[in-house]
């Protein structure tokens, strides 16, 4: 691929991601949330009542474990999640949604779905699937890259 086109593509992907994050923050801020906190609520909402470990949460969110700890600390302080002992492993805490966290997710999630529908309205199904494939290839390339010697 032409180097200029490769740079333009990379810039476009990063600019789009930044735009999504910035505009998402406008929606979430109204509810006292960050995008990362909304993602935690969204991952925990369909989880079993036992919740999930912080490691599982980090793996699903693709976030470093140390960042998950601070994120969960802030959400626990806000009353949206709680940590419970894991009955099978005393070293592990299970993160669970509280009733307040579930109410907040139920309030914000439909609004987020409306925004997602607006953002993707101009894409047909075939275009969306092709874009997903391209983004997957870019992710794989980003994971596999190495610095030149």
Q: Tell me the per-residue pLDDT of 7-63, one tens digit each, with 9 for 90 and over.
A: 999 999 999 999 988 888 889 999 999 989 999 999 999 988 888 888 888 888 877
Q: Which CATH architecture has domain 12-106?
A: Orthogonal Bundle (1.10)
pLDDT tens digit sequence for 87-141: 777 777 889 999 999 999 999 999 999 999 999 999 999 999 999 999 999 988 8
Q: What's the pTM value of the predicted model, to 2 decimals? A: 0.81
Residues 101, 75 contacting (CB under 8 angstroms): yes
Q: How far apart are CA 11 and CA 93, in angstroms?
A: 39
Name the pLDDT band for 147 (thresholds 50, 70, 90).
Answer: low
**Residue 82: closest CA among 61, 54, 111:** 54
Q: How far apart are CA 6 and CA 118, in angstroms?
A: 28
């Amino acid at each position: 691929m032409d180097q200029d086109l490769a740079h333009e593509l990379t810039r476009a992907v990063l600019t789009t991601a930044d735009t999504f994050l910035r505009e998402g923050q406008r929606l979430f801020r109204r509810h006292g949330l960050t995008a990362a906190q909304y993602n935690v609520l969204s991952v925990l909402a369909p989880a079993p009542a036992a919740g999930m470990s912080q490691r599982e949460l980090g793996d699903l969110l693709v976030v470093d474990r140390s960042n998950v700890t601070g994120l969960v600390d802030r959400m626990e302080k806000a009353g949206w999640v709680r940590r419970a002992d894991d009955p099978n492993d005393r070293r592990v805490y299970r993160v669970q949604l509280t009733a307040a966290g579930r109410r907040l997710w139920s309030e914000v999630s439909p609004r987020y779905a409306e925004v997602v529908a607006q953002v993707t309205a101009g894409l047909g199904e075939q275009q969306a699937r092709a874009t997903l494939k391209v983004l997957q290839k870019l992710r794989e390339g980003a994971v596999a890259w190495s610095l030149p010697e």
